Structure 1
Amino acid sequence: MTKTPLSLHVDDVTVFSRALSKQLDETSPSHLALMNMVARAAGFQNLQHMRAAAAARNRLDTREAPPIVDARSVERTLNLFDALGRLRQWPSRRAVQTLALWALWSTFPVEKALGEKAVNAHLASEHTFGDAATLRRTMISCGLMTRNRDCSDYRRVERKPPAEAQAVISHVSTRRRARLESERASQSA
């Protein structure tokens, strides 16, 4: 027999004790027989059934831990965006640049080819410092977008953002939604 610890949770001790006492009668059971009696009193068919249930519970409980997010990097990146979700300045740190670009990446349409002018116009609406070319080129060099050699057919590269980028995208998207809603409200008025 293995020496793996096997926990037993009993909701009602009274019911458990009664079930166990009925099985014990007046005989002195062996170690294995006593363990099977305990398992049956707990509502299992036998000890193996109890072990299998515990093993399944452990497998389900050991899920993948959520990725750890570097909150400081996320905060530094979010400070570069205004209340409307637009990038206010180009960061000096490469890691912060990349996180900021992920936020811009999330605004591009999925699986749609855009010309250079369309990409520049789109980026111009998402930043305030007037350097769409730097943003576009850096997105290409970071692998967030692809383009043809003749600078046409820009496409967003589909891949899962890292945990920090997901956090930045989430916060900036909330700000951006507020901006888009206010723009729609002003257009309809």
Structure 2
Amino acid sequence: MTKTPIPLHVDDLTGFARALNHQLGEASPPHLSLMNMLARAAGFQNLQHMRASNAAKRRIETRPDAEPLDMRTVERAFIQFDAAGCLKRWPSRRAVQTLALWALWASIPAGISLTETEVNERLGQEHLFDDPATLRRTMISCGLLTRQIDGSDYRRIEQSPSPEAQAVIREVTLRRRNRAAVGAA
């Protein structure tokens, strides 16, 4: 016959240890030793390990939610792209430029070495104002793209975009997929 586990929850280990100490009477170990025994019985190394684990749990549970997105800047970045996901013009605000560059960064394949001409062609497909050099140079200065000194080898730098950049990448990628679907039809 299998045993049914009986859960035990104790709000305060100190009070529980005192009550147990009182029940054990003369045979009871010192208070700290008893608390360490109880912590080990609960699966911890000792009382300090139990305290540290509970403190970490409280910190994680009370951690504030993710920072709210700057939706106004995200919206300004959306406006820079047409319905097909092409960058219409170079934004004047630096924050919007950076978000637009993240969307272009997402269009460059990861882990592949490209020549300057190939990068220009890819960027040329994703913008309408015919200035891939500005986009390429700005992506390098923002740390989104790397290149050899002689310009022979360009690579996308893999990193995690900000939440705002992720929102722009999602929207622009969706627009690009719609462009591809319309082009295929």
Q: What is the deviation of 1:162?
A: 1.1
Matched residue, 2:61: 61
1:115 and 2:115 correspond: yes
- Paired with 1:159 and 1:112, the residues of 2 have a C-alpha distance of 15
Q: What is the deviation of 1:164?
A: 1.1
Change (3 A) 1:46 1:90: closer
Question: In the alignment, residue 166 of structure 2 is paired with which amino acid?
Answer: Q
Matched residue, 2:171: 171
Q: How does 1:1-189 map to 2 (within 5 A)?
A: 44-48=8-12, 58=58, 61-63=61-63, 65-185=65-185
- Paired with 2:11 and 2:69, the residues of 1 have a C-alpha distance of 42
User: What is the aligned-residue identity percentage?
Assistant: 53
> Deviation digits for residues 56-86 of structure 1, max 9, x if unmatched?
8745533452122111100111100000110
Q: What is the deviation of 1:47?
A: 3.8
Q: What SS is found at the alignment partner of 1:106?
A: helix
- Paired with 1:46 and 1:130, the residues of 2 have a C-alpha distance of 69
Q: Which runs of 5+ in 2 are unaligned?
A: 1-6, 17-50
- Paired with 2:100 and 2:157, the residues of 1 have a C-alpha distance of 16
Question: In the alignment, residue 116 of structure 1 is paired with which amino acid?
Answer: E
- Paired with 1:100 and 1:47, the residues of 2 have a C-alpha distance of 52
Question: In the alignment, residue 152 of structure 2 is paired with which amino acid?
Answer: S
Q: Which runs of 5+ in 1 are unaligned?
A: 1-42
- Paired with 2:117 and 2:140, the residues of 1 have a C-alpha distance of 15
Q: What SS is found at the alignment partner of 1:76?
A: helix
- Paired with 1:136 and 1:119, the residues of 2 have a C-alpha distance of 8
Q: What is the deviation of 1:148?
A: 0.5
Q: How many residues align?
A: 143
> Deviation digits for residues 113-164 of structure 1, max 9, x if unmatched?
0001100110011011111111111111111000001111100001111111
Change (3 A) 1:60 1:117: same
- Paired with 2:84 and 2:146, the residues of 1 have a C-alpha distance of 27
- Paired with 1:95 and 1:104, the residues of 2 have a C-alpha distance of 15
- Paired with 1:45 and 1:136, the residues of 2 have a C-alpha distance of 60
Change (3 A) 1:97 1:45: closer
Question: In the alignment, residue 179 of structure 2 is paired with which amino acid?
Answer: R
- Paired with 1:158 and 1:114, the residues of 2 have a C-alpha distance of 15
Question: In the alignment, residue 123 of structure 1 is paired with which amino acid?
Answer: L
